[in-house]
Chain A
Amino acid sequence: MSKPQTLIEKLWSAHEIARREDGAALLWVDRHYVHEGSFHAFAQMRARGRAVVEPRLTFAVADHYVPTRGRDRPIADPAIAAMVEKLEANTAANDISLFGLHDPRQGIVHVVGPEQGLTLPGLLIVCGDSHTSTHGAFGAYAFGIGASEVAHVLMTQTLWQKKPRLMRINVRGKTIEGVAAKDIALAVIARVGANGAQGHAIEFAGRAITALSMEGRMTLCNMSIEAGGRCGAIAPDATTFAYLKDRPFAPKGSAFNEARETWAALRSEDDAAFDREVTLDADAIAPIVTWGTTPDDALPIDGNAPDPAGESDPVRARYVRDALDYMAIAPGKKLTEIMIDRVFIGSCTNARIEDLRAAAAVLSGRVSKVPGLVSPGSSLVKRQAEGEGLDRIFRAAGLEWAESGCSMCVGINGDIVPPGERCASTTNRNFRGRQGPGARTHLMSPAMVAAAAVSGHLADVRPLLAGRSV
């Protein structure tokens, strides 16, 4: 009998074209998503005089540099406008479908791919963006690549890869009220460490994972990279299939039913072996915020910032001191006493409809004490949210309701947190300067960002949910 396979091994073997003696495998790529950052790769391809071999499997989205305000006007900064124009020119010249700036389906690539039914179980998906791990939520093998690899995929529709080690993260039981997928993700990262999953493909499993919606699963897989993982994946199930049915690019009718049969087999066998297993109890996870400058600097909201004096390891003590210094937080300060300057709700991590609903449920009938920006994950999510009246709740709370893009998560379209300001953010990276030079970022769930907004400081969302349906 053959060795029982894991989900990841099944996905890998379905795409392996050849294997070299040194172990590198040539893999077939089913979907290649590109964005404005692909200009290096198109330049490399042009320099070789080559063309895109599978334009039908390549989809482009304008997200990183697009403005979130004033789209009826030309982009003011010529260098930013040039980035959007280069994507338009490169995709037009190579017959690649583009969800461009003015397309009603435009949005963040990791929101648009699933929303359009381009992301399917069993696919190998790559994109020149580290958060490509998001698509693993569907039981796809999805990972971020660099520009040279993007160029290689454009020219060959294949990629050389080393087989990753296998890690399974089990989240047992049921989460408590007020705890979202983001809290699970931050709890996992705090446990594993910001580089703890390096070299590993992660499979998320357990009752708390299967209980998540597709939106929640995408949030979790999105953050796999923040634990250093090569990718994250969840076995597809009825929740997955229900999400995909009737999506524009997904198979239809009998083709869908046939595909679903194949997809249903994409699960780890009972006795399949992993290189590493990590288990968390869902009911021990509280709403979490980050205090420092890497995503594993994450603590339950009722805790205190660390104190370098309490660290026995001198290297760790120095790191904590530097991080607190950058974040302007006194050692040992209660997290709920940290005042904020603004909030941001957006990004490929947490800007899907469910995220906006969760934030709106807290904000409804309340006013934010700080300014803030809400940028939906896609233009279709924006329209859906407006249909549900969520935009009115955000506006009434004093927040700005904007167009969709990567926006203030990475700040390269000009949406930045001003130097020295502190932002409660639904994004994925609290790195120094990530949201703008000198910006201070606290990561948390959309509901927790809303709680911080109405409190003016980091706050526990749970008391604010009393008597509300979420």
Chain B
Amino acid sequence: MDKFIRLTAKACSLDLPNVNTDQILPARFLKVPRSAELAHLLFYDLRRDADGVEEPDFPLNRPICQDAQILIAGRNFAGGSSREAAVYALYEAGIRCVIAPSFGDIFAENAVKNGLLAAVLSEDQVFELGAAIAAESARLITVDLEQQAVICGNRTFDFSIDPVSRNQLLNGWDDVDLTESYKDKIAAFKATDRTRRPWVIPTG
């Protein structure tokens, strides 16, 4: 897994609350394997009209948001379905960090597993950050995970993230490899559990 330590990149503000995973990647595209094609399908129905033509007003369609790697989103970003392909679509489109007042729990987990940072700022801070970016011609901001800070011009916003996710992103840990090192404990648990809860094994 890619580490996330510090990123300076262009930010794009998606000023909408409750953008759920059905909006990030509509269900009809869930058949698509992980590939560059997902970048094209990101926010498909928000980004395009009924004929598939790009809406010029949608933030990510604006020239000023070209090559943005940081997305600033509204409250309850990516709630809903557990589809990890929502993270793949963001990642394939070049997004490495999403900043929002709150995230769907499953999305936040999926993001960490793919090296994408989901950083939490308060609703007021997200609003201020959006305004600060609009004032910066280059729209470049820095997200520093070690310091848990978003830096925009002369403004610094301290963000929150749980220590487990922070640890995993900073180290780029691979869960499966990590779990491998607990092999003996798992075997011991399983042996004890079979006598403690024999009814767990399906009978059929």
Contact = CB atoms under 8 A, between A and B. Distances in A.
Nearest to B183: A156
Contacts of A116: 204
B28 A147 contact: no
A412 B176 contact: no
Nearest to A436: B28
B23 interface: yes
Interface stretch (A234-242, A250-258, A362-370): A250-258
A80 B107 CA distance: 25
Contact of A155 (B27, B176, B185): B176
Contacts, number: 179
Contact of B22 (A146, A315, A431): A431
B87 to A, nearest CB: 7
Contacts of B87: 146
Contact of A412 (B23, B27, B84, B163): B27
B50 interface: yes
Interface string B73-93: 001100111111101000000
B162 interface: yes
Given A158-B186, A259-B199, A262-B197, A432 B33 contact: no
A146 B102 CA distance: 18
A249 B203 contact: yes
Interface in B88-116: 102-107, 109-110, 113-114
B76 A194 contact: yes
Contacts of A433: 22-23, 26, 45
B193 interface: yes
Contacts of B45: 432-433, 437
B17 interface: yes
A148 B33 contact: no
Given A130-B81, A146-B87, A412-B28, A120 B110 contact: no
Q: Chain A, interface size: which category?
A: 35 or more
Contacts of A157: 186
Contact of A195 (B75, B106, B175): B75
Contacts of B102: 195, 198
Interface in A94-138: 116-118, 120, 122-123, 128-130
Contacts of A149: 109-110, 113
B106 A144 contact: yes
Nearest to A428: B80
Interface in A264-309: 293-294
Interface string B165-184: 00100000001101110100
A128 to B, nearest CB: 6
Interface in B120-167: 162-164, 167
Given A17-B186, A249-B204, A255 B113 contact: no
Contacts of B204: 116-117, 248-249
Interface stretch (A22-30, A170-178, A202-210): A22-30
A46 interface: no
B36 interface: no
A205 B86 CA distance: 34
B63 interface: no
A162 B164 contact: yes
Contacts of A194: 18, 76, 79
A24 B199 contact: no
Given A40-B85, A438-B50, A56 B202 contact: yes
Contact of A24 (B17, B164, B180, B197): B164
Nearest to B1: A148
Interface in B29-43: 30-31, 33-34
B15 to A, nearest CB: 9
| Across the A-B interface, the 4 shortest Cβ-Cβ residue pairs | A146-B110, A146-B84, A259-B199, A195-B76
Given A82-B31, A433-B23, 15 more contacts: A26-B185, A57-B201, A130-B80, A146-B84, A146-B109, A152-B179, A160-B178, A162-B162, A195-B75, A228-B76, A249-B202, A259-B199, A432-B23, A433-B22, A437-B28
